[in-house]
Structure 1
Amino acid sequence: MVTDQQGYDDLIMYLTQHLSIFEKPGKVAPNAPRVITLIEDDIAEQIIALCQQHKGLDTDQRGEIVREVDGIVYDLQEVLSGVIHQPVTIEQHAFIDEFAGLVKNLFDSAIATLK
């Protein structure tokens, strides 16, 4: 649906262009979650919103979305493996929020082409 499309390649390129955010120390907010926890939570929230917005998705389409999201999270774990267990910095938090929104946008676009 999206992971085999140019938009996903562009999203991964966007991530690689911003890896420096994860390589330098930054200010950690009080009670900051680990990087992986924030990634999982943010993407899950976006996908829940996606499914609520697109009530016409059938079970197979929802299953495909879940499989692809699992793959996206796995890709993020691989790329960010050195920092996924560290507390998220304020700058990382903002980037992860934005990235999760971009993931949702990819699926929104893919769903629009199904109709």
Structure 2
Amino acid sequence: MTDEAHDDVTSGAETAESMDELRAEVEDTRARLGSTVEALAAKTDVVARAKEKAAALKGRVQDSTPEPLREKAQQARSLARRNRTPVLAAGAGAVLVAALAVRRARRKGK
């Protein structure tokens, strides 16, 4: 084998090693970039973040609310679901009274 042939074989092996290193580096870079994109997407997903915060707050409130109060709230909720018409009528009446009070206050202010 001549020196030139030997140099070609050596440079071919070195090229293969450097190509493998480059491929590994590209794969690593892609993986890191993918993780970065996922993290940024999670930060910009406002709806999901709001839901997470709401769930955490709900859990904290439920944990700190006394049991008798939770039972009464559950009773009121089930009563309102069974009697929707009276509850809606009372709500509408409250809105009407509030609207009339605001209207009267504005007229007095003139």
TM-score w.r.t. length of structure 1: 0.26
The structure with higher relative contact order (CA 8 Å, sep 6+) is: 1
Relative to its length, the structure with more helix (as a share) is 2
Normalised by the length of structure 2, the TM-score is: 0.27
